[in-house]
Structure formats: C-alpha cells, structure tokens
Amino acid sequence: MREGARLSREASAFRRPLALTVAGSDSGGGAGIQADLKTFQEFGVYGMSVVTAVTAQNSLGVQRVDNVSPDMVEAQLESVMSDIGADAVKTGMLPATAHVEAAARSFSRHRVKRLIVDPVGAASDGSPLMDGGAFEAMKRLLLPMAEVVTPNLPEACRLLGVHSGDIRTMTDMERLAKRLLALGSRHVFLKGGHWSGEEAVDVFVSAKRPGETKRFAGPRYPTPHTHGTGCTTASAIAALLAKGALPEEACREAKAFVAAAISEAFALGEGTGSLWHGAFAEKRRFLR
C-alpha cells in the first residue's frame, strides 16, 4: 500500500465530532460566530459556520448590521450539510422570518437531530438582532425541532408573553422553564445570569421528566465583562452533544465552562469586555 493511501485510511478512521453554528458575525470577536468557533475548538470539536448577518460591533455596542440573504444562508447550509454533515447544530442570530424559514427547511431536509436553539433577540447593549416576525417564526418552527433551547430570563419571558417583573422567586423560574417545554423542545436550559443573588442559578427541565426540575448553582463573578455569555453557553452545549454527552450532562458542563470563562473575563476597548474562552482548559491543566 502506498504511504499516502495508508495515511488517508488512518485519517478517515479517526473522526472528530462536528458542530455547526448558524449565527451572525461579531467583528469584536466576543459573541456570535467567533465565540461559537472558539468554544467548539476548546472542546476538541471541529467547527463550521453559516453566517446569517455581518455586524460592525465593538465593546461599546453594535454600530451596523448587514443581513446575509436568506438564499445565501440556505446555500451555506446545503453546502455543509450535504457534504460534511454535523453532529450538532446551534442557532443564534436569525434576523428575519425568511432566515428562520430557510434554516428550518434545511434542518428538516437533513434530519438534524441535535439542534440547540439560542433564542437571542437582542445584543448585550439592547440592539435588536431579530425582528418580531423572526422571533415568532423561531418559536413556531425551530423550538419544536430543538434538543435544547437556552433562553435567559428576558428571552424566556418574551417567548411566553410574561412580564419579567412577575418572576420573583426560584419557584417562579422553575414554573417558567416548565412552561417553555410546552413550546416543543425536548429540553430547556433557563439561564439565571439576570437573576439577583450571590449565586448564578440555572434551571434544567426535560420533556422526559416534565414534573422534575434541576438547579445548577455556581459562583457569580463581580465583572461587567460578560459579552458573549449566551452564545458561548449554547455553543458549549452543542459541542458536548456532538461528543455524545446527554443533554443534562452537557448543560451542567457548559455552565462550568462559561463560569470559568467569566472568571477570567477581561476589559476590551472602552466598553463591555469579553470572556476568556480558554479559561476552562487552563484551570484543568493547573489542577492536574
């Protein structure tokens, strides 16, 4: 056997997990496609991307957004899924209804099994990233396909038409998570970063055990530099599911990954700084 053929056969026998992000580009590098690909790499997962929008963005906020055409979004999806495939797919910014519809068609056509939906409606500075029609289309079309949906408290309230001021206790949070299951996803990971308290507590619920809730508690770090936290959480879950983790395990590990990244967050520019995506691996190496 020729050396090249032998090496090719050996390479094909070793297959890395594959994860795809369908999201917007963040020129500042802290969120969106850039955060997702950094996260995939940290978990040893091969990352691919479908760009839905290009943003001019820095630590001070979003200055401009140019949407990629829905046809181009669908073409990117077809290119990746028809040739390479993906063990898990994560969605973020889908700016208009047509983008959501294009993604839903592709996911259905290629029978995507591990879909993680981050229902991101706005950037950290409040800039809208999805119009109202897109948000409703995501709720109607993508949530019933989702393995895990990862809203924060404002996003969960928007999905359910609830006023965030009505959520006052952890019991209220658990009820909210259970109500989100009725929208069709198999699991809900309701993030507690907007919740007050000494600890950051997230809630996990599963359609397999709808009456049961799990609370994942962790330290709350006193830093304003949390740009990209939601994107990173969802992409960490996607990476772990791509590697074969169960949803509860993936959400628990993703929380630990993000907590480490927040603990090493740093100032960047004149505004809100970024997480440090390498912190989780660095801490593990230190502990060995």
pLDDT of residue 164: 80
* Among 39, 55, 91, 229, the one annotated catalytic: 229
Return the bridge partners of 188, or none: 149, 205
Q: Is 182 helix (H, G, I), strand (E, B) or coil?
A: coil
Listed in sequence order, the residues at least 6 apart from 51 whose beta carbon sits closer than 8 Å to its beta carbon are 23, 24, 25, 33, 68, 73, 76
**Domain boundaries, given as residue ranges, for the chain:** 15-287
Q: Is residue 13's pLDDT more than 80?
A: no
Q: What share of the chain is helix, strand, coil (3-state, %, to 5)?
A: 45, 25, 35
Residue range 214-219: mean pLDDT, rounded: 91
pLDDT band, very low/low/confident/very high, at 130 (cuts 50, 70, 90): confident
Instruction: Find where tokens 């795809």 sit.
Output: 20
Whether 231 is catalytic? yes
Please give the share of the chain, as a percent, with pLDDT higher than 70: 92
Whether 29 is catalytic? no
* Among 178, 228, 233, 251, the one annotated catalytic: 228
- Say if residue 266 is exposed, middle or buried (CB neighbours under 10 Å; 0-12, 13-18, 19+): exposed
pLDDT tens for residues 60-119?
Answer: 999 999 999 999 999 999 999 999 999 999 999 999 999 999 999 999 999 999 999 999
pLDDT band, very low/low/confident/very high, at 9 (cuts 50, 70, 90): very low
Whether 232 is catalytic? no
Q: Is 137 helix (H, G, I), strand (E, B) or coil?
A: helix
Listed in sequence order, the residues at least 6 apart from 30 whose beta carbon sits closer than 8 Å to its beta carbon are 59, 227, 228, 268, 273, 274, 275
Listed in sequence order, the residues at least 6 apart from 288 whose beta carbon sits closer than 8 Å to its beta carbon are none
Q: Is residue 169's pLDDT more than 80?
A: yes
pLDDT band, very low/low/confident/very high, at 220 (cuts 50, 70, 90): confident
pLDDT band, very low/low/confident/very high, at 14 (cuts 50, 70, 90): low
pLDDT band, very low/low/confident/very high, at 12 (cuts 50, 70, 90): low
pLDDT tens for residues 248-273?
Answer: 999 999 999 999 999 999 999 999 99
Instruction: Find where tokens 């929008």 sit.
Output: 53
* Among 52, 213, 231, 251, the one annotated catalytic: 231
Domain 15-287 CATH superfamily: Ribokinase (3.40.1190.20)
Whether 55 is catalytic? no
* Among 230, 255, 272, 273, the one annotated catalytic: 230
* Among 191, 232, 251, 272, the one annotated catalytic: 191
* Among 21, 226, 232, 233, the one annotated catalytic: 226
Higher-pLDDT residue of 124 and 62 is 62
**Sign for the pseudo-dihedral over CA of 243, 249, 251, 255:** negative
